[in-house]
Each structure stands twice: as C-alpha cells, then as structure tokens.
Structure 1
Amino acid sequence: MDNTDPRYVRSRLKLRAAFLELAHEDPDKLSVSAVCERTGIDRATFYRHFDTMDDLVADALGDLADQATAKWEATSTGSGIQYAESEAITVNYLDHIADNWRLYQWALGPGGSIKTVHALIARSARGVAFELHKLDPTLSDDELHFRATYVAGGIVGACIHWLSTETPAITSQELTHRILRISEQRLDHALY
C-alpha cells in the first residue's frame, strides 16, 4: 500500500476484509460485484485499488503472509535455531489456512491465480532472506534472494500439496514440523 491517504487506506482495508469474509463463506461466489456490494464501495473505487480480482486475492492473502513473516523476523536471532518461536508462528499461520481451507484451495489450486502464488513466495522469501542474511552477511544480494526464493518456493509448494485433499490430511503442527525440518536442511545447503 503505497498511498497513505487515510481514505485510500480505509477503502483498501475494507475491500480486503470484504474479500476475506466472502471467501470464507463461499469462494466460488467471489466477484468484484460481490466485494463492492459487501463494502458499499463502487466499482470505480475498486479499480483504483486493484486491476483485477486476482490482484485483490494476491494482496489480501499476501498481507496475511506478511504479518506471519513480520512475526518470524521479530524472533530471528541470526542463530538459525529459534525453532520454538518459528514453530509457533508457522502453526498459527497454517491454522489460519486450515480455517480457510476452501479459500486457499481455490486461490492456490489449479483454477487459482499465479499472482497469488507469486505473492506468497515473494513474501515468504523476504523472511527467509532476512534469516539468511543474519546467518551469512557476506552473501551477495543476488545470491541471497536466489537462495531465499528457493526455500520459500518449497514452503509454498508444501502448502499447495497440503491443500490437495478435501480436508487437511495432517495437522498444522505436523506440517509445520515437516516444513521446518526440510527448511533447516535447505538453509544449511543454501549457505554452503
């Protein structure tokens, strides 16, 4: 959100909130019209904020990923071993995905949007890059971002695989353990 005008910010937040409410109810009925009707915001205002519905989806789900990444960054010590904190934050975020299972299946599934997948990878990569930089500040920006994107792609890919069943086949806790265990291995390999 680059524009800091309070009216602009309020409208954008209302659009995000309406999208999330509607998506929780029935993602198949999502449309620009439904979001505008829910918020009382006209279509022209919607299009000042987003070019397409895909842009709103990527923005709203990306913002939720940003919130989880910010919490993770706040706990990062640069040791790479703050497992308990990373676990709690990841479980919380995956619980959110499980609570909104149909939405994330819709958004990240075959009929979803590559913009959303890209937004989640980019936002996850930011947190991974933050930790990698603390672990090895000598990495070039290009190498840092390459490695972070590699790990983030695996994390998002694991979530997409998790979403491939009608309901969660494993718990958020179990998926977190798998992701963190594999991520630790990837981080080790990414550094050396």
Structure 2
Amino acid sequence: MDDDRRVRRTRTQLRAATLRLLADDSTRLTMAAVAAAADVNRSTVHQHYDSVDALICDALADRLLAIASELTECPFADDRDRPPRQLVALFDAVADAAPVLSRLGPSASARVQHQLTGSLAAVLDARFRAGQRPPGFGRVRPELQADFVAAGLINLALRRGHADTARRLAGQAWRLIRGH
C-alpha cells in the first residue's frame, strides 16, 4: 500500500514538474530537466516513464480530458444554425492550451493529438449512443460517427490560423457536423 502511495506521489511530482517546464519557454524539456525540477534523480523518471513523450502525455491527461469534456452537454440533436456554446468552449480550450502544445516535438504532438481525439471520441460516442446526435445519421454506427467528428474537430482546432476565432471555427465545424 505504501508503495502505491509513493508511486502516485512521485508521478504527481513528475507531472507537475513537466507542466511547469512546458509553461517555461526558455527550458528544453528532457528527462534530466524533469528530474531536476521534480527534485528526484533521473533513474526515478525512467522508472516511471519510458520516454519524454509518455511523460508529457501523462502530464497533459487531465487538461486533455477537460478539453474533451466541453462537449458532454453539447446539444447535437438540436436544429440550430449557430454553434452551441459547448462547441465554442472546446475551441477556446484548445486555444488556451496552444502555448503548451506548440512546445511539443512532432512525436509528442502526435501522441497528444491522438490522446485528445480518443478522449473526445469517447465523450461523443456516449452522447451519440444515448440518442444525442445530429439528425440524418441513423445509418452510421455511433462509434464511427464519434471517431469521425472527434478527429475532424481536433484537427481543425489544432491547425487553426491566427485570424480564426473560436466562434468562427465552431460555426464552420457545426455546419460540417450538421451536414448543411
């Protein structure tokens, strides 16, 4: 029992140190830097994580789940022209995370995008299976529609240009989701 508590405490330290380093533009994120910031030795970091990418994904997991949860109450079944506030909130949340996400290398970035897409797809799948899905897609399996919509939303949110606002992107995404 004490070992489990120690493992959780150490991982919490490592995740917190990773987030602090990601927020600091001047610091290069390495296992050694995380070890120093968490006040542990490098072998401790390697015991818990096989790569910096794995550590980054674990450190960002709560933030990614929070971003995905923005759509738990999105009224997909409503017939409205304007994007729901939950969809705008999703794009705002990704924009808020952009400074941290922009510091990731290609491998970590791909893992984080995959993790975020998976989290969002799980939220959407639950909603769609409960009947809260855009009309006109009854012949598409809910999990396929959830995967498709999640991938599209995350790709759009992560690749947005500086001129695009969260509301504008949400409006474009809403039209694509609704099929009109």
Matched length: 171
User: How many angstroms does 1:95 deviate by?
Assistant: 4.1
CA RMSD of aligned residues (A): 3.3
Equivalence for 2:93: 93
1:44 matches 2:43: yes
- The one-letter amino acid of 2:40's match is I
User: How many angstroms does 1:116 deviate by?
Assistant: 1.9
Q: For the residues of structure 1 that align with 2:5 and 2:174, how far apart are their CA atoms?
A: 39
* Identity, % of aligned positions: 23
Q: For the residues of structure 2 that align with 1:52 and 1:84, how far apart are their CA atoms?
A: 38
Contact 1:80 1:131 in 2 (8 A): no
What are the ranges of 5 or more consecutive residues in structure 1 without an aligned counterpart?
none
Closer, same or farther: CA 37–28 of 1 in aligned 2, 3 Å: closer
User: How many angstroms does 1:94 deviate by?
Assistant: 2.8
- TM-score relative to the length of structure 1: 0.71
Q: For the residues of structure 2 that align with 1:88 and 1:10, how far apart are their CA atoms?
A: 35
1:1-192 to structure 2, matched below 5 A, reads 5-26=4-25, 29-73=28-72, 75=73, 79=77, 84-87=84-87, 89-98=89-98, 100=99, 103-107=100-104, 110=106, 112-135=108-131, 143-162=141-160, 168-185=162-179
Closer, same or farther: CA 175–63 of 1 in aligned 2, 3 Å: same
Query: Which is worse superposed, 41-50 or 149-158?
Result: 41-50
- The one-letter amino acid of 2:67's match is A
Deviations 1:119-176 (A, max 9, x none): 1111111111121111179x8xx933322111111112112311xx6xx332333333
What are the ranges of 5 or more consecutive residues in structure 2 without an aligned counterpart?
none
The structure in which a higher percent of residues are helix is 1
| SS of corresponding position for 1:106 | coil
